[in-house]
Structures are given as structure tokens and as C-alpha cells.
A and B are shown apart, each in its own frame.
Chain A
């Protein structure tokens, strides 16, 4: 597959035939997977400053959700945010440059993995504070509501953040003001190194009910199921029907952060990881698409290879980019510095 065809597949979903739409979903998931696997390799070789939280195994949630958003719609992301950004259209080259701390990075090397943002695409930032994006997404939706804009904000957060008080505050606030915000909890089973079920009462999705907020639980490893659930919630929010909470159930295939083996030990059974490997969202979707006589396994393999090449190019771009000057640390604090 040449790079132009892959670029077309990952350019957007508008005006694309249904068969190609599914291929586009697959291509976007493959691109995220390649990005994350490359980061895993770079980290293990000591090539990254700082540390990274990888999204392997959760790609269907970001891609399914963002596939129903328009250019004016916004997202907030998390410390495990690379997938959300790529799904919303961020340039992997400038993301890779950011993660390597280069001037060509989306944030000129001031943010890094946990804080990448591209406001021009409605990406209001990854966030290093667990639950940090929840109030921000609520405010983004408030702006749309006050200004009468036909836009929606999707707030990605994890099962760990579901135990932050701001989630309950934001469900209340967005309900009383009928804000166009869709909260998507990516329940990957683990809060850092703790099993979430051990430290979480009841169901996360059910937390919406007492606020009168619509909620749903969805298989987070099924991209079409995620897409359908988010499409319904986004459509309702866009039409003035208020907020929604979707719990997408998935599994964290990799570490909380790369390098955890230095201290974490074996904190979950190998069989459990193997079980979820059998539910891999990309392999599952590939199996569905391969049945389509217009697609076939060969095209899917070509897409995976094209995705890997695109990420190799992103690494080359980042490595060739300059480091910032020390004096750059003193810029960008205020829009108007004043006296």
C-alpha cells in the first residue's frame, strides 16, 4: 500500500463509503498501535526522556468515539493519551517530536507525553492529573452552550479517575445546565497497580443514574460497538439532550507506565493477560473485515505495514529535529507578560 492511500484512509471519515469507513477505523487503530509499540521499543532502549503510559489494547475506544466527531468538536484526554490524540487527527510526527522533547513537538517540548495538546484540532490536552480533564471538558461544553454553538465535547477518563470527586461534581453540573458533554470512562481494570474492583464501589456507569444522566456500558474492544454508543450519546448532546456517561470495558495490556517491572513484580496473572490478548480490538476487527470480499486479509496486512512505516517516519522526523534552547524555558507563560 502506498503512503497516499494510507494518508487518505487516515484523513477523515466524511464522504467515505461504508466499506472504506471501516478500513479507515482499522487504519487509525493500526496507526495508534504502531505508535505505542514504537514508544515501547524506544523506552526500553533508553531513548525517551521521562516515562510513557501506553494505550495498547484500548485503541477501539478512542477511534470509535472520535470517528463520530466533527472538526469543531473537542476532546479532553488523560495521561494515557496518545491514542486519543491520533484518533482526533493529531500529527504523529509532531507528537513523537514532543515526546522526545524537541522544538518541533506540538508543545515545543514543554509538555511531553502526559501533556500533549493541539487546540487547533479541538484537543484540549492530555492531562497528567487523574481526572484533570473532567472539569475542563465540562467548561468546554459550557462555552458551546452559552455561545449557542452546535458542538460537543468528549471527555476521556479512566476507571481510576472515576473515584475523583470532580466526576460527580461534573455529572451534577452538566446535568443541571444540560451541557453537550459525553464522559467516556475507559475501564481498563487497573488503577495504577491496584485492581480497580478492589477500590471501587458499585458500577461506574451507574454513577450517572442518580443525576438523571443517560449512561451505557459497552464492549470497549469492539470499535463498532463503541462507535454506535458514542454516536447515540453525541447526537443526543448535540441536539440539546444533555450529557451522557459511557463506560467502555477494556483491559490494560501493558504496564501502568513503561519500566514498571523494576518495582511492580507480577501483580496480575499471565492467564488474564492471555485471555484479553485473545480479545485484541485490532485483531478482532481484522477478522470481521477479512470476511468482506471487497477487503481481504492482504489489504489489512498492507495497512498495518503502512502504519508502521508512517511511525518510522515520525521517529526520523523527531530525531532530526532540534533540541530547544535553554532560554526557551522562559517563554509561553503568559499571553501578555505585563510590567
Chain B
């Protein structure tokens, strides 16, 4: 089984999807050259009609994906950085997320907005965003946030085949990580989370780059005699609530590691739902390990100070066990 980088897994999924369905096209800034390699070589294989460099006009290119999806294409747009999604927010929030519902279900919009996301090391506040909490609250777009190359490939295949708009976020902190991807890997259905490490004392729900951080923390906690279960939801809309609730009911304790600002983050929603559904099983209040409520700063020291780390996850878990 070959071990490959995240970007190679994305590229493999794109090539497979384009080969199986002539309505799949790829467009965006520098998709011909491909800065992180996710779309590399596609133009040689599929031609300039289906692989299109686009101008830096995020609003109109995202909106064009909406119109194209309504009229028979399955566009995949590479936004490069998820911070740039905000330039196109009207097209995402008022158009892509609304047209099916407002039309009474007349139209399907099978489009994928693909973007590198999150802090990548001193990229500062306009290239480090994680927009998944905002997207979760929109209602109308699906949100995919994988943490391994195998999941990236399988979930991208599913996202492209999905009949609804999908925002596919590739955590840039994981761009340099490798993982095994089975040859002929199948699509992974959206809405199926996975238990990355079973445990009995507490549940850690982790998102994106927080998943490997949580696994590191769990290993260290095990040395201290604490058994942590790590859950990776993989997709946030739809979200595998039964998997999370089942784990929380077993362990009675919940830490959420979410690479996003604390206020109204994914962690806030997960904590609220766990309290609504698992109240009688909880031994103590859920705890969020998330970003401070500030933009991501430039200085490496400051960036580390406000973001999620394995040490912060470990400390939160240890404190919870000590306190309960």
C-alpha cells in the first residue's frame, strides 16, 4: 500500500473523478501549475476545456460554479486558501446554499469548493482562516474536513459525486504529512465519522489537524494511565452525531479539539449537542480546546499561543480527569 502526501491523494481523486465523469471540470487560480500539487498534471490528461486557470475573481468564479452546476457540470474550484472564501461569500451563502431550497427543490448544485485551510506557519490573519463554523451554520452547504490522505481521497470522490454544494477543506498543517492510501480506494460516504483510537476514560472529538494532535496527546495520556478515545468526524455537515453521542455515553467525559475560534466554533455546537443528548451520562462539563478569540497572528510565538496543540489537548484532558 503506497504512502503518499495529502495533495497526491487529492490529485488522485480528481483524476479518477474526471476520468469517470466527463461533466467534472477543475477551475481556479493556477490549477494548471498547481502550487501545492493537488491539480498537477490534470491539464495534460484532460485538456484545457476541462482544466481552466481562472482570473482572481473569486465571487464570479464561485458564482459561475453555481450556474454551471445548475446546468449539467460538476465543477471543482480550487480557492487556494479558505480565507478567500470570504471574497465570494455572497455566492456561497446567498446563492449556492440557497438556490435549491428557495426553488422548492427544483435544482441540484453538485459543486465542490476546495481550499487549503488553517494556519500553515506565519501566514498570518488573511491566509490562516478556518471557516468551517460559519459554513456549518449556513444550512445548505456540506463541509468536509479530512485528516488523513486516505480520507482525503475517499471523501473528495464522494464530494464530487454528491448532488449538493460541498466545501472541502484541506488542513494546511497536514499538507506535508503522509499516509497510506489503498490502491483503488473507494469513496467514503459523507457523514460517517471514525474512531481513530478507542478508549474508556474520556472522548476527544478532534477536527482536521487536531486529530493527529489528539492522537499524540492520547498516547501521552496512556502513559499516565488515562484511556482517551479519539473521534474524527471527518465531515461536519452532515455530522456523525450518533458516533459522538455513543462514545460520550460510554466515557462520560468530552473534550473537543477544534482548530477555530472559541466563540460559536464547531466545538461549541458539539458541546451543546452532547449536553442536550447525553446529559445524564456526562460526569463533568465538556471542555473546548480551540483558538483564542483573535485573528491568527504572524509571529510563530504568538501563532502557537492562540492555536490548538497536543499539549493543550493533553492538559485539558488531564485537568478533566483530575477534576472529576
User: What residues on A are CB-neighbors of B136 within 8 Å?
Assistant: none
Q: Indicate with 1 or 0, residue by residue over B39-64, a CB within 8 angstroms of chain A CB atoms.
A: 00000000001101011010111111
B64 touching A173, Cβ below 8 Å: yes
Q: Does B94 contact A (CB under 8 A)?
A: yes
Residues of A98-131 at the interface with B, using a CB-CB cut-off of 8 Å, are 105-111, 115, 117-120, 124-125, 127-129
Which of B60, B99, B239, B242 has the largest number of chain A CB atoms within 10 A? B60
B101 touching A333, Cβ below 8 Å: yes
Residues of B90-126 at the interface with A, using a CB-CB cut-off of 8 Å, are 90-91, 94-95, 99-108
B102 touching A125, Cβ below 8 Å: yes
B94 touching A132, Cβ below 8 Å: yes
Q: Indicate with 1 or 0, residue by residue over A73-88, a CB within 8 angstroms of chain B CB atoms.
A: 0101000000000000
The answer to whether A136 and B95 touch (CB under 8 A), given A143-B72, A335-B164, is yes
B102 touching A107, Cβ below 8 Å: yes
Q: Does A170 contact B (CB under 8 A)?
A: yes
B164 to chain A: closest residue by CB: A334
Task: Choose one: B55, B67, B102, B108; the contact of A139 (CB below 8 Å).
Answer: B67
Q: Does A176 contact B (CB under 8 A)?
A: yes
Q: Does A198 contact B (CB under 8 A)?
A: no
Binds A, one of B127-135, B175-183, B184-192, B198-206: B184-192
User: What residues on A are CB-neighbors of B100 within 8 Å?
Assistant: 332-335
B191 touching A339, Cβ below 8 Å: yes
Least Cβ distance of A271 to chain B in Å? 38
User: What residues on B are CB-neighbors of A169 within 8 Å?
Assistant: 55, 57, 59-61
Q: Indicate with 1 or 0, residue by residue over A161-201, a CB within 8 angstroms of chain B CB atoms.
A: 00001100110110011000000000000000000000000
Report the Cα distance A166→B89, complex, angstroms: 12
Q: Does B240 contact A (CB under 8 A)?
A: yes
Report the Cα distance A15→B117, complex, angstroms: 56
Least Cβ distance of A10 to chain B in Å? 23
Q: Does A9 contact B (CB under 8 A)?
A: no
Report the Cα distance A134→B59, complex, angstroms: 10
The answer to whether A139 and B59 touch (CB under 8 A), given A125-B102, A132-B95, A335-B100, is no
User: What residues on B are CB-neighbors of A307 within 8 Å?
Assistant: none
Q: Does B71 contact A (CB under 8 A)?
A: yes
User: What residues on B are CB-neighbors of A165 within 8 Å?
Assistant: 59
Report the Cα distance A136→B67, complex, angstroms: 4
Q: Does B317 contact A (CB under 8 A)?
A: no
Q: Does A226 contact B (CB under 8 A)?
A: no
B240 to chain A: closest residue by CB: A339
Which size class do B's interface residues fall under? Answer: 35 or more
Task: Choose one: B60, B73, B164, B242; the contact of A173 (CB below 8 Å).
Answer: B60
Q: Does B37 contact A (CB under 8 A)?
A: no
Least Cβ distance of B192 to chain A in Å? 6
User: What residues on A are CB-neighbors of B106 within 8 Å?
Assistant: 106-107, 117-120
The answer to whether A339 and B192 touch (CB under 8 A), given A143-B67, A166-B63, is yes
The answer to whether A124 and B54 touch (CB under 8 A), given A110-B103, A338-B238, is no
Q: Does A266 contact B (CB under 8 A)?
A: no
The answer to whether A146 and B50 touch (CB under 8 A), given A132-B90, A137-B67, A339-B238, is yes
Report the Cα distance A334→B64, complex, angstroms: 20
Least Cβ distance of B89 to chain A in Å? 11
Which of A110, A136, A333 has the largest number of chain B CB atoms within 10 A? A136
Least Cβ distance of B237 to chain A in Å? 8
Q: Does B70 contact A (CB under 8 A)?
A: yes
Q: Indicate with 1 or 0, residue by residue over A216-235, a CB within 8 angstroms of chain B CB atoms.
A: 00000000000000000000
Q: Does B320 contact A (CB under 8 A)?
A: no
B94 to chain A: closest residue by CB: A129
Q: Does A337 contact B (CB under 8 A)?
A: yes
Q: Does B25 contact A (CB under 8 A)?
A: yes
User: What residues on B are CB-neighbors of A142 within 8 Å?
Assistant: 64, 67-68, 73
Report the Cα distance A142→B70, complex, angstroms: 11
A129 touching B95, Cβ below 8 Å: yes
B71 touching A74, Cβ below 8 Å: yes
Least Cβ distance of A179 to chain B in Å? 9
Report the Cα distance A119→B67, complex, angstroms: 11
User: What residues on B are CB-neighbors of A138 within 8 Å?
Assistant: 60, 63-64, 67
B162 to chain A: closest residue by CB: A336
A139 touching B64, Cβ below 8 Å: yes
8 residue pairs bridging A and B, Cβ less than 8 Å apart: A76-B67, A109-B104, A136-B70, A140-B67, A141-B67, A143-B67, A332-B104, A339-B191
Give chain B's interface residues, CB within 8 Å of chain A.
23, 25, 49-50, 52, 54-55, 57, 59-73, 75, 90-91, 94-95, 99-108, 139-140, 142, 162-164, 189-192, 238-240, 242
9 shortest interchain CB distances as A-B pairs: A135-B63, A139-B67, A339-B191, A139-B64, A332-B105, A108-B104, A335-B163, A169-B60, A136-B67
